[in-house]
Structure 1
Amino acid sequence: MKFFGKALLTLLILFLLVLLALYILLQTRWGASWIGRTISNNTSYQLSLSKMEHNFSSPSHLLLDDVTFGRKGQTPTLVAKQVDLGLGLIQFSNPLHFAAIRLDQGSLNISEKSATLPLSAEQLQLTQMAVNSPQFVLPLKAEKVTGAVSPWHPRAGNFIGDDANFQFSAGSLNLAGIDGTNLLVQGKLANNRLILSNVGADVARGSLTGSAERDAEGNWNVSRLQLSSLRFQTTRSLSAFFAPIFALPSLHIDRLDVTGARLQGPNWAASDLNFSLKDLTLHNGDWQSDDGSLSLNASSFVKGGLLLNDPIINMTFSPQGINLTQFSSRWVNGLIRAAGSWSRSDKKLTLNDLAFAGLEYTLPVDWREIWMKPLPSWLESVEISHFSANNNLIIDINPDFPFQMTALEGNGNSLLLAKDRQWGIWGGTLSFNAAEATFNRVDIRHPSIALTANDSQINVTEMSAFAQKGLLEAKAILTQTPQRQLSLRLSGRGVPLDELVNWGWPALPLRGDGNLSLDLSASLAAGEPLSQSASGTLSASQDDKTINQTMSKGVVRAQ
């Protein structure tokens, strides 16, 4: 019995010596290299480390130095100066699940392929790490990341796991091409729902704070988001800048506040922008709101050739549509003001009041094409209950028929300016007058016009102007059919007899002042030359001389 006892004791001592030797060897560079080779040769993962350390003063911690780990043939998922594995009794049943894992001074490269890791822990801690996740909801790259995930159970396509709380800070980050510093984020993942309970960062020389949530279908709910003092420049157009937002399945904004922002892109900019948006949902290119609102002001806004100075917008949203309580802005050295509503049911914009004052506006070269172009699908008609214009200068530099009107004033009531997505004067009353005007290099004084319109025709009830020492007066009717048949009757007393030359009628053999009488019919159909449809008669008299001419399809012959 003594022999067997001594033999058993000897074997036990030898076993302990072997364990001690292995314990010592594994903590050498050779041991670390052997562990890396063994895992790399027998699994689909690649592992290298320079040293493994264990200290009986901290028996529950295993330290790995200079670790590189990832799938073979891919960018390493983990590179760290040190990895601290927290050990516990669970290692006996699940060797790859740790009480805690701490990654120190390295980088994490997260993708859908690299996220399926064989490790898990009750807590994952990061200290001064770099994180690169190009396939995240928004492409993310962060430096000096410190934080924790608890518990950490990574899944395919989800590095954090399906159910975890997290808290991180980062010295710098780039999120979807936007640089930021001093990031702090707290939240959780639960049942494929991402909850960001608190987010803060310094972005574009300003600050961002907020909270938001994303569900399993990718729909976002922004509880609050505040952006302050942004100074942001981009190479994207305005539509491309907002494209990622409209690409989301759904975005609900409880409250969004922007203060003191300056934004700039190609052909667009906003200076000193302040706005507050409440209760609005964007979904499938449309919006919904039960009781939302938008309040906006800025020192300037630029979009292409449009420059608005000191714009102010206040509106409310409801299931029925939009109520525009206030819009005002300085524009082309003048002022524009409007208030009204847009109805969702009939897609009609109704402006209760529209006013222009002191404008100095040059019409765009293609304003006629813009006038003929159909309106967007969300705008079927436009009606102005009351319109007023005061002391405006309007210029058209089209070389075919330039014109200018100085000190232009006007009034209108119940004006239907768009119907079935087409601009026009489809209803209401309208009148204009100006101090001076020039039409195709013909100067006139105190021109005025008054008209009424309905579905069938536009009736010009009064049109007059002074031409040098004489007076021009006219009346006209324009049908609302596609042919746009025009009937015009014009008379002039004591006017220059060549007054109509630059307006399309050939020169008369008479010179000086006299009387004119013109009856003309023509078609203003889109895309058809006016001259080819013009027919009428002209009578001109001077003292005892009278000339009568007839025009047929734009060709004049004397009678």
Structure 2
Amino acid sequence: MRLAAKVIATLGILVLLILTILIALLHTRHAAPVLSQLVASLSPYTLSSEQVDYDIRRPWHLTLQAPTLSLDDNKLLHSDNIELWLSPATTLHNAFRRLNNPKLPFHWAFDSLLIDGINTDTQYETNLAALSQLPAMSSQRLALKNFSYHNNNLRLEHAQIEVDHWHSPALVAHTQSKAEHNLASWGHFSGNFRLAAPSAQWQQYPITQLLLDGEKESGEKEKSRWTLYGYSFNWQGANIGGQAELTTSDSTHQLHLHQLSINQLRFNSAQRSQELVSQWQTLLPANTTLSIGRLDINNGHIELADLAFNQLNLSLLNWDSQHNVWQQSHSQLSLSADSILWRDSLWQQPLLDLSFTPKQIELVGLSSELWQGYVRAKGTLTPDTLALGQLTLNNLKVFLPANWRQQAQTWLQPLKQISVEKLDIGYVQLTAAEAAFPFHISGWHLDGQDLTLKQADQWGLWHGKLTTNAGFASFNTVELIEPFVRMTSKQGHWQLNQLTLPFSHGLVEGQADIDLASAAKPWQLALSVDSAPADILAKWLTLPLPLSGSIDSQISASGLAANPLSLAYSLSGQLEAQFRDLNLNLSGRQLAQQLSQWPTSHKLETDPVTMQTVTHANQVEEKQPTKLATSLSPLTITSERGHITLSPLQLENEEFKATLKGSWDLAAPKQQRLQLEILQPCRWIRVWQSTPNEMDDHQQTTSSSPCEGNNI
């Protein structure tokens, strides 16, 4: 026992002596070579430094000036200086653990490790390979000062990085999970971290005053959570900051932006926005979902392909990118701007406030100056309904695009029900310069209360009161002066109480009603026409009769509108018209040509009818058309349960005489007869006729009589 005690005492004295000598040498100029020799003796690494600073008053603190760590002549690490605070208790504990289990690696443990002036060049993969060969070590606190980092996607200049509980790559390989090992080419840490850099560059975008302050937590089953208590940087002239949290696992990743504030953003490229989205997706791990607690954009200027914001202020709350717009839960969007340019429409001073719940978007408020006027609205939108509490349009000057009908149909097609509690349209100018039917309305007013305009996917005034008038209107160049319409509806019974269409020297008045709620949809119509311009026949009804003059008419009709078959069996009524001061702008031959082409685009029956004309071989020179005083006999059309009769109608002037007569049955469109006869001075007859046949359902014939003299 005494011998063993003496041996232990001797070893202890030798250890103390060696430590004393070592400590003494660390205070001399020989400290650097002594430390290099010590590292070479205890490990396969080579350490060189210009100077080693040591103070006995801080026995576990050591400073190395311009150190270089190498392995097999490969430089692993070089910096301006390194300060390290050794953790002797942890280091000895690791040594004893290795004695009990030789498979465990020995690693140096430090309370703090400060590296100043480290630099990684563009050879990123080479640097990672070098870092992976660092000795097994750990530090309760790792700090990098004046750190410069360059690779293909990211550049950091003079950055400062601080992390807690850092383990070198060699230690990670033995102590961490496979997933952590794959992500830890630079090592592994958990706990608080901080990154500050005066300048940086991500992709081609420069960043200044970058600051990240957060915490990393490692959980079970290869889960980890990154929490950014604060981040801020300047990018594209904007100051960006906020808080965020990233939760990762082996299969899913969730990024939650607790707050994101963007001030004074300047962005003016649609292509760059697409590149930015692509690079953002590359930066995040695959299968990453994004949710936003609060997003604020203040005084932003953004220009994209067909959308531009000036002085934009936007606030978005509780948004989840994993869900579409109809699946958001208690989300809100508020927007204001100096101006917004969208598809050549300038919205000035817009205000928008939206609230999102599952399958519903509430338009809390919308107001804006638009098209030299003002727009205001509020209401609720679901995937198939639109319920507006208020819609106000004042002083707008609207020029409808060529395809406005198709656009409106596309937007409104998904909606099965549309209602407006309060509709107010005032002093609006509406212009459509379409070739088929151009129109212009000036001084348009429309007032509506409790309106249901579409129900069960069927258009109509299902409920409410609607009154509209205008100072002036023109439909296909036919002018109206102060037209007026008033209608009401209750429980689907739609009534046209007053229709007044004043022309410059004439008037059309009418009333109508239809029961939309009834299965049969019965309806009736009454119109009174006094001195209406005759050109409405061609311009409104597309009849090939370019007449000028006046029309007096009385029209009454009724029927069922449930479907075309119901209408065919129920249409009853009468049309009587008288014509005054008529002039025809076509010659007889030109009129015949137009009449011969007219049924091609306006068929009287479902199936096409073969039509022939009888002409004479001799032709006469046609005179230039002039306005010819023309007389037209009174027009009488009667209908009894779908059977329509056209009494003979005669059109006559000094050049020709034409007669049109016939009848047809809407319920049996294959049985019809319509005859047109023109004399100038030759006789030209055209007959459309369908007759029953025992072999076929029907057959179509034409008949004519020969001309005498010159034919048209």
TM-score when normalising by structure 2: 0.58
Letter in 2 for 1:169: A
Q: What is residue 124 of structure 1 aligned with on the other side?
A: 142
Deviation at 1:235, TM superposition (A): 2.1
Does 2:388 align with 1:351?
yes
Q: What is residue 313 of structure 2 aligned with on the other side?
A: 274
Q: 1:164 aligns with which of 165, 186, 191?
A: 191
Deviation at 1:53, TM superposition (A): 0.8
Deviation at 1:316, TM superposition (A): 4.8
Q: What is residue 261 of structure 2 aligned with on the other side?
A: 226
Do the aligned residues in 1 keep the contact of 2:165 with 2:189 (CA within 8 Å)? no
Letter in 1 for 2:160: T
The structure in which a higher percent of residues are strand is 1
Where 2:435 maps in the other structure, the secondary structure is coil
Where 2:208 maps in the other structure, the secondary structure is strand
1:13-92 to structure 2, matched below 5 A, reads 24=33, 52-53=48-49, 55-58=51-54, 60-62=62-64, 82=80, 84=82, 86=84, 88=86, 89=88
Q: 2:436 aligns with which of 400, 405, 411?
A: 400
Q: 2:246 aligns with which of 194, 214, 222?
A: 214
Q: 2:161 aligns with which of 128, 135, 147?
A: 147
Does 2:337 align with 1:298?
yes
Q: 1:387 aligns with which of 419, 423, 447?
A: 423
Do the aligned residues in 2 keep the contact of 1:67 with 1:83 (CA within 8 Å)? no
Deviations for 1:204-226, whole angstroms, at most 9, x for unmatched residues? 21312222222235333333332
Aligned CA distance change for structure 1 residues 398 and 505 (closer, same or farther; 3 Å): closer
Do the aligned residues in 2 keep the contact of 1:238 with 1:268 (CA within 8 Å)? no
Do the aligned residues in 2 keep the contact of 1:68 with 1:80 (CA within 8 Å)? no
Letter in 2 for 1:262: H
Where 2:482 maps in the other structure, the secondary structure is strand
Where 2:166 maps in the other structure, the secondary structure is coil
Aligned-partner Cα distance in 2 for 1:107–1:541: 97
Letter in 1 for 2:119: G
Aligned-partner Cα distance in 1 for 2:120–2:155: 10
Q: What is residue 210 of structure 2 aligned with on the other side?
A: 183
Aligned CA distance change for structure 1 residues 431 and 406 (closer, same or farther; 3 Å): same
Deviations for 1:103-140, whole angstroms, at most 9, x for unmatched residues? 525237779x9599455433332333344578xxxx75
Letter in 2 for 1:214: L
Deviation at 1:230, TM superposition (A): 1.9
Does 2:128 align with 1:102?
no
Deviation at 1:538, TM superposition (A): 5.7
Aligned-partner Cα distance in 2 for 1:83–1:56: 10
Deviation at 1:415, TM superposition (A): 2.5
Q: What is residue 372 of structure 1 aligned with on the other side?
A: 409
Aligned-partner Cα distance in 2 for 1:322–1:478: 33
Do the aligned residues in 1 keep the contact of 2:334 with 2:352 (CA within 8 Å)? yes
Where 1:500 maps in the other structure, the secondary structure is helix
Aligned-partner Cα distance in 1 for 2:418–2:159: 54
Deviation at 1:387, TM superposition (A): 0.5
Do the aligned residues in 1 keep the contact of 2:418 with 2:454 (CA within 8 Å)? yes
Deviations for 1:169-222, whole angstroms, at most 9, x for unmatched residues? 112334577543111111111121111111122222131222222223533333
Aligned CA distance change for structure 1 residues 143 and 264 (closer, same or farther; 3 Å): farther
Aligned-partner Cα distance in 1 for 2:203–2:476: 53
The structure in which a higher percent of residues are helix is 2
Aligned-partner Cα distance in 1 for 2:556–2:530: 15
Aligned-partner Cα distance in 2 for 1:463–1:507: 27
Do the aligned residues in 2 keep the contact of 1:66 with 1:82 (CA within 8 Å)? no
Does 2:289 align with 1:249?
yes
Where 2:407 maps in the other structure, the secondary structure is helix
Does 2:545 align with 1:547?
no
Deviations for 1:125-170, whole angstroms, at most 9, x for unmatched residues? 2333344578xxxx75443322211222364225573523111111
Do the aligned residues in 1 keep the contact of 2:579 with 2:633 (CA within 8 Å)? yes
Aligned-partner Cα distance in 2 for 1:210–1:352: 37
1:528-547 to structure 2, matched below 5 A, reads 539-542=576-579, 545-547=633-635
Q: 1:413 aligns with which of 449, 471, 474?
A: 449
Does 2:233 align with 1:201?
yes
Aligned CA distance change for structure 1 residues 372 and 276 (closer, same or farther; 3 Å): closer
Q: What is residue 445 of structure 1 aligned with on the other side?
A: 481
Deviation at 1:348, TM superposition (A): 4.1
Letter in 1 for 2:635: I
Deviation at 1:381, TM superposition (A): 4.0
Deviation at 1:542, TM superposition (A): 3.2
1:266-345 to structure 2, matched below 5 A, reads 266-286=305-325, 288-290=328-330, 293-316=332-355, 322-342=361-381
Aligned-partner Cα distance in 1 for 2:238–2:441: 46
Deviation at 1:309, TM superposition (A): 0.7
Aligned CA distance change for structure 1 residues 422 and 224 (closer, same or farther; 3 Å): farther
Deviations for 1:448-484, whole angstroms, at most 9, x for unmatched residues? 2334568978654433211220002345668979xx9
Aligned-partner Cα distance in 1 for 2:463–2:385: 15
- The worse-fitting range, judged by mean Cα deviation, of 405-414 and 296-305 is 296-305
Do the aligned residues in 2 keep the contact of 1:237 with 1:268 (CA within 8 Å)? no
Aligned CA distance change for structure 1 residues 350 and 26 (closer, same or farther; 3 Å): same
TM-score when normalising by structure 1: 0.72
- The worse-fitting range, judged by mean Cα deviation, of 120-129 and 195-204 is 120-129
Question: Which structure has the larger Rg?
Answer: 2
Aligned CA distance change for structure 1 residues 524 and 392 (closer, same or farther; 3 Å): farther
Aligned-partner Cα distance in 2 for 1:547–1:163: 95
Q: What is residue 4 of structure 1 aligned with on the other side?
A: none
Where 2:530 maps in the other structure, the secondary structure is strand
Aligned CA distance change for structure 1 residues 176 and 298 (closer, same or farther; 3 Å): farther
- RMSD of aligned C-alpha atoms? 5.1
Deviation at 1:446, TM superposition (A): 1.4
Where 1:284 maps in the other structure, the secondary structure is coil
Do the aligned residues in 2 keep the contact of 1:188 with 1:195 (CA within 8 Å)? yes
Aligned-partner Cα distance in 2 for 1:490–1:66: 102
Aligned CA distance change for structure 1 residues 179 and 408 (closer, same or farther; 3 Å): farther
